Structure 1
């Protein structure tokens, strides 16, 4: 007699939550016309032979709505941090003031806003693909153990996985709509 199959839906949910968490991080790096320290998170600087996040080579502050400052701790790193920001594709022109790098955030024009909404859409699609891959993995686990369960059990587990997937896809769509609205705000 075979053991009753039990799908680890908590593991599937955790993996889907990971895709949404990654999406939030990617959305935080998108510029919306307002200054935010999180927009610098994806930028890495070569520091003492290894790549390091900007927030680990200096203090990131937002002193006013359209300005981000980075107080670089090691004077020899200032030019490397400035170069990393210029090459990041954020479209921000850093200004040096000793060990402080000032990043004035320019107003976004309509074309750039539309471009950023498309980028946000791409990030959301990557998250949807990740969720669907987790769904596919769950469905394969069910198929593998098909012999040891009834048709009703199989349908139950498949509907559980699908319900979990639908919930996470809906969350991704809500985050995308919110981010696109934020980007398009003037």
Structure 2
């Protein structure tokens, strides 16, 4: 019986860890004023008739904290890259110097910072919902096991402790991201 309970706890922990990883990936895309190649991770470029991620057709670098440079492997892609960045609606105004596309990352306004914090809180809430769903699923599976009330109660307490731990982790990551966004 203990093996079944342990299996449920392990799979629940795995689900909750997955929610954390998803949250961290979502937070990478929320820019905090500093230029980062990850800001362009969602940009897709028309390349030989198919939509291709920008990172697969060019080198993306950050020469300084306010600039992103995109150097395509084929110079003929420069106009497509420029158009794709503008169409991605990231708030960037790319410039083409004939060799590469240069993007100056504008400093964030107070209003934009507040929007980004709101977006970060929304992502964090989604992660908490995933954690709670994992808890709910685990409790459902535990109730289906043929175990004593005491064992069931103890297992449910373990699941709740996991839930509390991961909820605190989400709050901690959100706090760090929030201060990162609001720092001028």
Could you say which residue in structure 2 is the equivalent of 1:55?
55
Q: What is the CA deviation profile of residues 59-108 of structure 1, one whole-angstrom value per residue up to 9, with x for unaligned ones?
A: 11010110011111123332222222212232111111224111101111
The whole-number CA distance in structure 2 between the counterparts of 1:51 and 1:133 is 34
Could you say which residue in structure 1 is the equivalent of 2:165?
167
Matched, 1:140 2:140: yes
Q: Map residues 61-80 of structure 1 onto 2, 5 A cutoff.
A: 61-80=61-80
Could you say which residue in structure 1 is the equivalent of 2:95?
95
Could you say which residue in structure 2 is the equivalent of 1:33?
33
Q: 1:26 is paired with a residue of what secondary structure?
A: helix
The whole-number CA distance in structure 2 between the counterparts of 1:129 and 1:99 is 46
The alignment yields a C-alpha RMSD, in angstroms, of 1.5
The whole-number CA distance in structure 2 between the counterparts of 1:42 and 1:127 is 20
Could you say which residue in structure 2 is the equivalent of 1:127?
127
The whole-number CA distance in structure 2 between the counterparts of 1:53 and 1:172 is 29
Q: Could you tell me how far 1:37 is from its partner in structure 2?
A: 1.2
The whole-number CA distance in structure 1 between the counterparts of 2:56 and 2:151 is 51
Could you say which residue in structure 2 is the equivalent of 1:158?
156
- Structure 1's unaligned 5+ residue stretches are none
Cα–Cα, structure 1 residues 80 and 132, in superposed 2: closer, same or farther, change >3 Å? farther
TM-score, length-normalised on structure 2? 0.92
Q: 1:129 is paired with a residue of what secondary structure?
A: helix
- Structure 2's unaligned 5+ residue stretches are none
Preserved CA contact (<8 Å) 1:44 1:53: yes
Could you say which residue in structure 2 is the equivalent of 1:183?
181
Number of paired residues?
182
Q: 1:35 is paired with a residue of what secondary structure?
A: coil
Could you say which residue in structure 1 is the equivalent of 2:5?
6
Q: 2:5 is paired with a residue of what secondary structure?
A: coil
